[in-house]
Amino acid sequence: MNTTVLGCLAAAAAVTFAGAGSAADLESAFGGKLAGPVSASDHDRFISVAEGPDGKIYAAGFVAAGKDNMIAVSRFNADGSLDASFGDGGTAAINVAVNGGSAEVGRGLVVEADGAVLVAGPFEANPGAPGNVGKDLDVAVLRLGPDGKLDAGFGEGGIARIDLGEGKLVGETFITDNAWGLTARDGGYAVFAVTPNHEPGRSDVDFAIVGLSAGGALDPDFGTEGVTLADVNGSGDSARNIQRLADGKLVAAGYSSAGGVVSPVLIRLAADGTLDDGFGKGGVANNVVLSGVTEAYNVVPQGENYILAGYGRGTDDKTLDMVVYRFLADGSLDASFGEAGVTRVDLAGEDDRARNVTVLPDGRILAVGSGKLDAENVDALAVLLDADGGPVTSFGENGRILVDLGGPADAFFGLALSADQKSALLAGYKGAAPDTADKDDGVLVRLGL
């Protein structure tokens, strides 16, 4: 195993393993390079990562300008240095909602064969407006050219702004549109989001899969006028990531809450956005995995089946565990996976979380997120499992590597296999302690497999 720090959005101390057996600084083939800061004084984080066709690496997230977030994409050379020919010194930061707040975050990321980059996330629809009007969010999809500048031929000036519906006050809670996942699809793109249900007496949000044309307009041939809605349990739904399958279908992962239980949701759609009746119940699979909470942050195919990962707990548990589990091709939970259908990773009786997952060519499963050895410190976590959910004991310590990225609240969020599939790219952040002068810094790591 070979692990190398590729880049960090701000200068940082040496990054080390915690509890990885042969603890060592993350310095080897790339000399432990840490890229220069995007913001020397404000917060920045990486949420997603992808490798481009030329071997360059893209990481998306946000950089703050005071209290005003901007969607940001950084491009790294293969050796971990920022590519100064992209954006401004290696980073393109776009303020979709000028004078907005902290809602604007780049989450979904697509890099195309010609080097164009698309990133999706939420933004404040009415920045600076008083009361609940200022809390309303819409969906943004940005397209950048290979130089990191907005592509004027996409959407309006390079940005497709999508309003799925007005926000809604429910009791003391304001619910609104929110976007997460993005994938290329046949003829365009698909965004995974949620939007409030405006039927009389309803107080929940529904899943929304949005089909965009190659030019950034709603695709009238996708779903119903460009949008497919899915309601699960008539309760609160949370969207996470979406993938295009090899046959052109789409599969999206998130979770839903009903009767005090949070359970994972998998939605499968045909290429035209219609729900796939051959999957789950009318295209939607919703299975209770743990009795209290089971969240899904991503889904990836494993043969004809699907691997999901997130975090959860039983009814009587006081802390959260990283969880990985498998849905079968028909949408049912695979009880043969792990132990009784789920692999739980609990480092020390504290909260552990998965934020992403991928499947290696040989069927092994790599999940990343965060873990805790004590109540005071959160570190970035990578876990390698065999094809059926057992630990790969030769990896780190009993299949786990905990990495201190330099802060008290660190995490891996983005995950992508390299083109040669010999390494994984992990994007995340060094998280600062609250109420201090320190700041969050995005971090990019290469993990040899």
> Residue 405: what pLDDT?
85
pLDDT for position 436: 82
Check residue 24 and give its pLDDT.
32
Q: How many CA atoms lie within 13 A of 385 on its CB side?
A: 27
> What pLDDT score does 342 carry?
97
Residue with tokens 């976590």: 381
The DSSP-derived string for 347-385 is SSSS--EEEEEEE-TTS-EEEEEEEEEETTEEEEEEEEE
DSSP 183-194: EEETTEEEEEEE
Q: What is the pLDDT of residue 194?
A: 97
**52 alpha-carbon distance from chain centroid:** 18
pLDDT at 310: 98
Residue tagged 């164009």 (tokens)? 116
Task: Specify the pTM.
Answer: 0.93
**What strands, in cross-sheet order, belong to the sheet with 423-430?**
3-8, 441-448, 423-430, 411-417
In Å, what is the CA distance from 33 to each residue of 44, 57, 132, 298, 440? 18, 14, 44, 29, 18
Q: pLDDT means per 10 residues in the chain (449 residues)?
A: 41 31 30 44 90 94 91 90 91 94 96 97 95 96 98 98 94 94 97 92 92 98 97 91 97 95 98 97 97 98 98 96 98 97 96 98 97 93 96 90 90 94 90 86 86
pLDDT at 113: 95
Question: What separation in angstroms does the CA of 178 have from each of 20, 209, 220?
Answer: 37, 11, 21
Q: Pick the closest to residue 27 from 15, 10, 11, 9 (CA basis).
A: 15
Domains in the chain: boundaries: 57-366+381-408
In the prediction, which pLDDT does 40 show?
63
- Look-up of token digits 């009784």: 340
Measure Cα distances from 284 to 1, 183, 247, 341 in Å: 38, 19, 18, 19
Q: Which residue in 307, 266, 310, 269 sits closest to 290, CA to CA? A: 310
Q: ∠ at Cα 97 (209, 237), nearest 5°?
A: 30
**Do the Cβ atoms of 297 and 355 come closer than 8 Å?**
yes
CATH of 57-366+381-408, one of 1.10.1740, 2.120.10, 2.60.120, 3.40.50: 2.120.10
* Strands 342-345 and 353-359, bridge-based pairing: unpaired
Look at residue 266 in the predicted model and tell me its pLDDT.
98
